Amino acid sequence: MLAIIGGSGLTQFAHLGVSRREVVRTPYGEPSGAITFGELRGQSVAFLARHGYGHTIPPHEINYRANLWALRECGARGIIAVASVGSIRPDLKPGDIVIPHQIIDYTWGRKSTFHEGTDCTVTHIDFTEPYDRDLRARLIAAAAAVGVDASDSGVYAATQGPRLESAAEINRYERDGADLVGMTGMPEAALARELDLPYAAINVVANLAAGRGDSSEGISFEAIQAVLEVSMGQVRAIIEHMVAG
Ligand code: HPA
């Protein structure tokens, strides 16, 4: 069963014939909300709203460990993570969809491993390719099949938030090789790998990153929401096609 973690703009999955919701407790605390189970094109899927169903949990306070643990506990064997991002790469414009292939982690202070405490063995997961190859390929193929012109690669910079970045920070991330910036990609991807859960992301460009647009206007979260509404329809179409295939 695939699980979808929905971000800003995707707090529910409209076409999911919802069969039940389950509140799951984990050794790591409470997930962001109940897990919703349903069917997409005859296939079972699970859905979890990363920021909570009322969008009340900010990126740095999300219990990423509980979310992934709960999804695996409920039978998820792969994760599609949907998240909005700011664009650093000049050819990526608001509304564009990207299947990223790499991550740079700038977050700090988050609970980023299941392997901690004195009675845990030291564990170093391989993270050379942070996203699952097969899931990425399936997403890219599904996007093509439904006629969405998604970018098939991108380096995702995970920032701490909840504030947006300064223009100089964005310039630094670009020098580092980042194409996209978001606040929730880590430690989510690494925790999935620790649990051996194949994980891939689908990013929607909500805005040009700080200092990249008309800087007199700043970044408006209202404008971001409007862009997301349209693109999340495409994201749903991609995921539905992928699940069915
Ligand atoms: N920066 C960080 N996270 C984001 C942005 C951004 O510009 N847009 C959407 N999520």
Task: Give backbone dihedrals phi and psi of 44, rounded to 5 degrees, phi first.
Answer: -70, 135
In a 13 Å sphere around the CA of 199, the CA atoms on its Cβ side amount to 25
Query: What's the pTM value of the predicted model, to 2 decimals?
Result: 0.94
Distance from the CA of 184 to the center of ligand 1, in angstroms?
10
* Mean pLDDT (whole number) for 9-17: 70
Residues whose CB is less than 8 angstroms from the CB of residue 132 and which lie 6 or more positions away in sequence, other chains included? 78, 198, 199, 200
Residue 184 near ligand 1, beta carbon < 6 Å:
no
Distance from the CA of 101 to the center of ligand 1, in angstroms?
18
Distance from the CA of 104 to the center of ligand 1, in angstroms?
14
ipTM of the complex: 0.99
Return the best residue to mutate from 51, 183, 222, 227 for the ligand 1 pocket (most ligand atoms within 8 A of CB): 183
Index of the ligand 1 atom closest to the CA of residue 83: 10
**Helix or strand (DSSP H, E) at 202:** strand 199-208
Q: What is the pLDDT of residues 102-120, one digit of tens each?
A: 999 999 999 999 998 877 7
Reported confidence tier of residue 5, pLDDT bands at 50, 70, 90: very high
> Which residue, judged by its Cα, is nearest atom 3 of ligand 1?
182
Among 200, 78, 193, which residue's Cα sits nearest to residue 125?
193
In a 13 Å sphere around the CA of 106, the CA atoms on its Cβ side amount to 21
Q: What is the pLDDT of residue 217?
A: 66
Residue 181 near ligand 1, beta carbon < 6 Å:
yes
Q: What is the pLDDT of residue 59?
A: 96
Spatial distance between the Cα atoms of 172 and 167, rounded to a whole number of angstroms: 9
Return the best residue to mutate from 50, 97, 107, 181 for the ligand 1 pocket (most ligand atoms within 8 A of CB): 181
